């Protein structure tokens, strides 16, 4: 498996940390709510705010990857549009004078 570009990897690490913190906040909010502790309301508010920030962080990974691909080209994989041309393009040859019907064929440069 190929390595992620540095900006994309950094965004992914940020997103994973944000998801982990959000899960911890949600768990604390649930436990405080079940125990009917005064800390339940602040934890629920913090969990909601953290969910918004985490959503931004996860979307940041996607946006960063799209920007990197746009600036640096598509990574060539079998399913990619950047793969090598098929044998049709590679095997093209110049037609002989008899095949052109008397017309002159220009070579593409």
DSSP per residue, 51-64? HHHHHHHHHHHHHH
pLDDT at 96 over 60: yes
The larger pLDDT score, comparing residue 102 to residue 49, is at 49
Q: Over the stretch 30-83, which tens digit does the pLDDT of each residue have?
A: 999 999 999 999 999 999 999 999 999 999 999 999 999 888 876 566 665 555
pLDDT at 4: 79
The encoded tokens of residue 48 equal: 């909601």
Q: What CA–CA distance (Å, rounded) separates 102 from 74?
A: 42
Considering the chain, what is the average pLDDT of its residues?
81
């Amino acid at each position: 498996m190929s390595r992620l570009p540095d900006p994309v990897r950094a965004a992914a690490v940020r997103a994973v940390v944000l998801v982990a913190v959000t899960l911890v906040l949600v768990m604390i909010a649930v436990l405080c709510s079940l125990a009917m502790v005064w800390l339940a309301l602040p934890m629920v508010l913090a969990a909601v705010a953290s969910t918004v920030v985490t959503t931004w962080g996860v979307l940041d990974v996607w946006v960063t990857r799209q920007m990197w691909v746009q600036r640096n080209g598509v990574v060539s994989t079998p399913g990619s549009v950047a793969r090598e041309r098929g044998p049709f393009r590679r095997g093209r040859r110049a037609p002989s004078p008899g095949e052109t019907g008397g017309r002159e064929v220009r070579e593409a440069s």
